Structures are given as C-alpha cells and as structure tokens.
Amino acid sequence: MKKISRYILVFIAILATSVALPKLYWLAFEKPISRPFIMYSSLEHDFMIQRHENKQFHRTDTKGNTYTRDEFEQKLPLFYVRQLLISGIMPDTINGRAMDTHEIGKARSSYRFKSSYMIAPTPGLYPLFESESGRANLEMPEDFFRITDRMEFVRASENIISEKKSQMFTTVLNNRGFDFPAAMIAGIPTTRKSCDEGYIVVDNSNQMFHIKMVEAEPYVAKVEVPDGLTFKFIACVDFSDKKYYSYLISSDNEVYILTQDEYELIKLPIEGFIPEKEELRIYGNLFNYTVISRGTSSLKVIALDKEYNKVDEYTESWTKLSDTKAGKAASFIFPVELNLSNLNSSFIDFYFERTKGFNWLILNLLLMIAHFFIIRKTGLKPTKNLIDFAVIAVTGIFGFLAVNIFQNKFFD
C-alpha cells in the first residue's frame, strides 16, 4: 500500500511536470514561424505569395518576380477590390469580362475549416428558422429541435416539447424514409445570415436529407448520395452566389460541395487533405477558387476554375517547430510532451507527443547517474531502487523530478 501510494504520487508528478515543463519551455523559447499567404491571381494565372520575414513583407510570384504592396494588390484585383476602388485603379475588365462591383461581391466567398470544428462536442439542439417569413431579418424561433428517436421541438419559455410541431415534422421525415436518430446535423444556427436554408441532416443509415421550415410547414428533401459515400463533416455556407449549400468532407477525406436546388454532390479535386490535422481555406471569386490546405509545416494551394477543375497547384513547406533551434534543444530535454488541449480538437484530453529521435536518452542516462549518487548519498541501496531507475530511464527529467520529490527514503 505504501509503495503503491508512492508510485501513484510519482505518476501524478510525472503527469504534472510533463505538462508544465514543456509549456514553460515553449513560453520562453518559441519563436513565431512565418507562414506565407498565397492566393491565385486570375489576372496573372499564377500564385501570388506574401511572406513576413525579419519584420518585413516580401511579395513574389512562383517565378521569383518581386512586387511592391501596390503591385501585389493589383495582381489580385478581386481580392483587394476595395483598396483598388479607393485608389481608383480597379481594372475595367479582367480576362475580357467587364468588372461590375455587384457581380464581384456576389461571386466572392471565403470559408475556413479547422480540425477542431470537426472534432468537437455537438450542441444536440438547434433552432429551425422560418425560411420564408416575409420579413427582412431572420428571427430566433421560440423552440429548438433535436433528432433522436423522432424530431422533437422544445419550447424554451416553458422547457417543454411542442407536441404538435414535433409530430408534424416526425411524420414527414418518416414518410421520406428517415431512419432515426440523426447521425449528423449541419446548419448555420444564427440569424446573422442572408437567408435560411435549414439543415443538412445525415440519418442513422447514412441517408442525407435537407430539412427546413417553409411557412410553418416542414420541407424535407432527400439527397441522393452514391453508394458507399459517407461524410465525417458537413459545413453549411451562406454565399451570395447561392451555388451550393455546403462543403462536405467524406470519410476518405475527399471534399465535396452540395449544389443548391439540384442537390448534386460534386467532388473537388483536392488530394492529400487530412482533415484531422490540417486547416482548409477556400476563397472564391468571379473566375477561380483558391483552395489552401495547411498543416503544421507545409501547405498546398490548388486553383480551380468556376467548373471546379484544377488549373494550377503550388506546394510549400517550412521548418517544423521540432527542427528549429529551440525544437532541437527540446529533443535533448523532453522524451515526450503532454498537453491537455490540442489545436486539432475541441476536447480536453491527454495528448501525448513523443519527441522525434532519441536525443533525450543522453539526459536520461545522466539523470540516472545523478540519481545513483543521490541514493548513495542518502545511504540507500541502488538495488532497492531499480524501479526508480527504470522510471527515469523512460520518462527522463519528469521521472527524475518525480522520484526525488516523492523520495523512496523509507522503503528500504
């Protein structure tokens, strides 16, 4: 019991130090890593790259031509449209097409996906807006819905179920072949959007439905999904051009869009995207989409035309945190780093990251020798402290601190 209690305390101390020490280390030594901003120029048919290095901006294209800020902005007229309009240098035509600010604005879109949006707890309750209220602004409904063994509306003012409305929606869903409960519910649960398009819902059999409320009546449309195609994340969007309802990430990491009204699933030619680890940004304009998938040390940019065909591609990588000076030094100190939070997840958990290589073995060995002398000094027998040595061998500095905070002194 006494020995167990000591090792429990040692274990707790190892956990605590393996979170605290690397955190303090990075707080002291982490330097910002410059990541380039890249956008496809519909004018130059090339990628325009802006870097921030040594507190200065460097603007180039992929051929190595360098640009001033004004020149750079002029190469991306559809991205910097406001600036060019203010400066009075917005071109009248691009690629033979007359520029109309209304059209430019309508075609503009921007979307950002982060892994932590996907790996996150779901609210479980959602507001179903009236899609055709006849009002200029959307209004927050009185009730919120859940889709468990039926579609249920809970009236917030009394915290009770609106039985009639629940039955009405459940009946329509049943008639459309909905298999309860819902596996995924995606929508834009805010009144701050141009209009309401309800929710894209995946049922228990991976069937996809579009559910909204039109003049207080249910609107349910089934989306035809090819056999075997399943999705792990759906993000609804509210873009002015109203071309599609949502971006969808399939189980095999392909990115799709779901077109408006026709409910057609179109696969975007984005390869190698890992949604669990990478961020995705999609910028649209009158002529192209720029799709940027970015990991911790590299990014890939794909330019698509308006028919979603790939027209160009650019990749770039930069020094990983672990390959910087501070990262290399850390590899000699910490065998592992423990974090409770993770950029790629909204959940708190124990996230272990093993240090690349075995540089830390040197320090572990030195600490074992140091521990040997500490034990000798206190008059204990090293042979009776073999577990402590094993703990230091594996956990290094964390174990060394832990076994010396909670000493083995009275167990001989």
Partner 1 sequence: MFKSVVYKEWIKTKWFLIILTFIGLLAVGNIFLKVQHNIAFNDANKYWYLILFQNHHYFKSLKFVPLFIGLLIALVQYVPEIMDKRIKLTFHLPINENKILMMMLGYGFITLLASYALMFFAFVGLSNQVLPTEIVQATISSITPWFLAGFAAYFLVALVVLEAIWKYRIAYFVAASAFMLFYFESSIPGGYNLINLKLILLTIAISISLSFSAYRFRKGEM
What x/- string results for residues 155 through 174 when contact with partner 1 is judged by CB under 8 A?
-xx-x---------------
Q: CB 190 → partner 1: shortest distance, Å?
A: 7
What x/- string results for residues 15 through 44 when contact with partner 1 is judged by CB under 8 A?
xxx-xx------------------------
Instruction: Decide: is 382 part of the binding site for partner 1 (CB under 8 A).
Output: no
In this complex, which beta carbon is closest to partner 1, that of residue 28 or of residue 98? Answer: 28
Q: CB 155 → partner 1: shortest distance, Å?
A: 8
Q: CB 52 → partner 1: shortest distance, Å?
A: 29
Instruction: Decide: is 8 part of the binding site for partner 1 (CB under 8 A).
Output: yes
Q: Which of 211, 249, 391, 402 binds partner 1 (CB under 8 A)?
A: 402
Instruction: Decide: is 137 part of the binding site for partner 1 (CB under 8 A).
Output: no
Instruction: Decide: is 276 part of the binding site for partner 1 (CB under 8 A).
Output: no
Q: Which of 1, 28, 98, 136 binds partner 1 (CB under 8 A)?
A: 1
Q: Which of 70, 142, 238, 316 binds partner 1 (CB under 8 A)?
A: 142
- Window 194-253: residues binding partner 1 (CB under 8 A): none
In this complex, which beta carbon is closest to partner 1, that of residue 24 or of residue 365? Answer: 24
In this complex, which beta carbon is closest to partner 1, that of residue 20 or of residue 195? Answer: 20
Q: In three state form, how does the secondary structure of the chain look?
A: CHHHHHHHHHHHHHHHHHHHHHHHHHHHHCCCCCCCEEEEECCCCEEEEEEEECCEEEEEECCCCEECHHHHHHHCCCCCHHHHHHHCCCCCEECCEECCHHHHHHHCEEEEECHHHHCCCCCCCEECCECCCCCCCCCCCCEEEEECCCEEEEECCCCEECHHHHHHHHHHHHHCCCCCCEEEEEECCCCCCCCCCCEEEEECCCCEEEEEEECCEEEEEEECCCCCCCEEEEEECCCCCCCEEEEEEECCCCEEEEECCCCCEEEECCCCCCCCCCEEEEEECCCEEEEEEECCCEEEEEEEECCCCEEEEEEEECCCHHHCHHHHHHHHHCCEEEECCECCECCCCCEEEECCCCCHHHHHHHHHHHHHHHHHHCCCCHHHHHHHHHHHHHHCHHHHHHHHHCCCCCCC
Residues contributing to the site for partner 1 (CB under 8 A): 1-2, 4-6, 8-9, 11-13, 15-17, 19-20, 120-127, 140-144, 146, 154, 156-157, 159, 189-190, 340-341, 346-350, 402, 405-407, 409-410
